[in-house]
């Protein structure tokens, strides 16, 4: 889920996932910086990609499946809710998103096993993750 959403967010470019941005010594010296490595590209027209991105954005707008989870969120996002049927218990809820809409910097994917609908179980968790990322950035920018 996250890989495909990342490709949509990046305009069709596929990057190798990585978890570490940089390694810093205890005294603050940058020891190593990791950079994204492009591994491919989705064969899709810009027009089709634009339609997909707009549909993903509409999920967070009034009337969208993630509208209640993202009501009042200050940064436009693109996302998709989902519910996977589970024959052994409650359904699994999922939500995947990227933000900000126009210049994406983060993709988040949340799966809540036996959590029910993705809009109710997973989307609020994704909002919390996005709030943590962007609120931390805002604090850093305000501190200088």
* Domain segments of the chain as ranges: 2-143
In the chain, at which residue ranges do the beta strands (DSSP E only) sit? 13-15, 22-24, 30-33, 38-41, 78-84, 92-99, 106-112
Provide the pLDDT for residue 61.
Answer: 96
For residue range 66-106, list pLDDT tens digits in order.
999 999 999 999 999 999 999 999 999 999 999 999 999 99
Provide the pLDDT for residue 113.
Answer: 95
Average pLDDT over residues 4-24: 91
Please tell me the distance from the alpha carbon of residue 33 to that of residue 6, in angstroms, as a whole number. 21
Contact 97, 118 (CB under 8 A): no
For domain 2-143, the CATH class is alpha beta
């Amino acid at each position: 889920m996250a890989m495909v959403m990342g490709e949509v967010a990046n305009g069709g470019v596929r990057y190798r996932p990585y978890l570490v941005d940089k390694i810093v010594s205890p005294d603050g010296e940058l020891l190593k910086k990791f950079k994204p490595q492009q591994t491919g590209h989705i064969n899709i027209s810009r027009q089709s990609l634009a339609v997909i991105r707009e549909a993903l954005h509409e999920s967070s707008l009034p009337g969208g499946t993630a509208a209640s989870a993202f009501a009042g969120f200050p940064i436009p996002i693109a996302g998709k809710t989902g519910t996977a049927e589970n024959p052994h218990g409650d359904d699994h809820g999922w939500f995947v998103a990227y933000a900000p809409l126009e210049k994406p910097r983060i993709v988040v994917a949340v799966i809540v096993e036996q959590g029910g609908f993705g809009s109710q179980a997973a989307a609020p968790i994704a909002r919390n993750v996005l709030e943590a990322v962007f609120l931390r950035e805002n604090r850093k920018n305000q501190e200088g």
